Homo-oligomer: A and B are copies of this chain.
Amino acid sequence: MGDAGFTLGQLAATLKGTVDGDAARVVTGVASLEAAGPEHIAFVADGRYRESALASRAGAFLAADDVEGLPAPVIRCREPRLMLIELLHLFHPLASLVPGVDASARVAADARVHPTAMVGALTVVEAGAVIGAHARLHPLVYVGPGAEIGEDSVLHPHVVVRDGVRVGHRVIVHAGAVLGADGFGYAWDGSAHRKIPQVGTVLVEDDVEIGANATIDRGTLGPTIVRRGVKIDNLVMVAHNVEIGEDTVIAAQTGISGSCRVGKSVVLGGQVGIGDHVSIGDGAMLSSQTGVISDVATGVKLGGTYGRPLSEFFRIWVAQAQLPEMLRRLRALERRLEELTKGE
């Protein structure tokens, strides 16, 4: 961003939209409706935010078509939510990558780091690892022997990518996430749990994002697989031998047990638990804190223990409130019937 900011006309041109009001007005940043001042442009996602927009001091708005009567110039465009992304990139361009290996990093002699990649301070790249073009390894990252990091991927500080794990292109791994720790597998030998060696790996395809302190375990024999476009939030646990389908979204603190197959475009809410060897069909949605231990069909929406259809789950939840009262009514009925038939 030039410190001078952009005129609404310039912004509208970039966002392929039009200006409803003074196109010469200059804004120097994006802010929330609540925090915005006259120098900011604020985003109005839809009509639900109209009241907040009316009260906002923002100097301009990026708004959906159905939000009218706003108190400052408005940029109108198709897909305003996607255009918000463009707007944010305009005002907050990604810090430019400084290629090269920091003097304090420890890169094995036979690791292959692309000359356009960045390896930050005190980062370790072990023997045989491969770091792709324009990849960014922030400080204090660990990349194990033979691991591969694809082009344009970003590993934030304290990420651990263990031996042999393969990470695709344009993957973002947030701080503290661990890819490729041993899966949790033992066999009881009569006197102790004996560890089953976990000799598989993890395969993360392109355009995946993995949250802070999430863990994705390596497979026992083959790979644990995270397909293209999957988005995983913080503190999620993906166990060994799992496969997660393309474009699936997994909210924070959810756990997926060993050998599960999660379909494409599935949505898992937060703190969901999936038992081992379960298949989740494409497009299924599990609401937060749902627990399932058997297969889930394509496209269904489930909630609660063992995953009931959401509408059933809600009806039961509502009915439960009357459960103590139902007990009393049942007893009353029994007593009355008893009296009735006593006289027979």
Contacts and interface: CB of A to CB of B under 8 A. Distances in A.
Interface in A234-270: 234-235, 237, 239, 247, 249, 251-253, 255, 257, 270
B160 A85 contact: no
A312 B211 CA distance: 37
Interface string A276-318: 0000000000001101010000000000111010001001111
A82 interface: yes
B222 A235 contact: no
Nearest to A228: B192
A330 B326 contact: yes
Interface stretch (A7-15, A66-74, A109-117, A335-343): A335-343
B237 A187 contact: no
Nearest to A180: B175
Contacts of A124: 120-122, 139-140, 157
A318 B95 CA distance: 56
Which 6 residue pairs spanning A and B have beta carbons closest together? A181-B212, A142-B157, A88-B197, A160-B175, A178-B212, A319-B323
20 contacts: A79-B189, A82-B189, A88-B197, A122-B124, A126-B139, A142-B175, A160-B212, A174-B182, A195-B209, A212-B217, A234-B237, A235-B235, A237-B252, A253-B255, A326-B327, A326-B330, A329-B334, A330-B330, A333-B333, A337-B337
A256 to B, nearest CB: 9
Contacts of A57: none
Interface size class for chain A? 35 or more
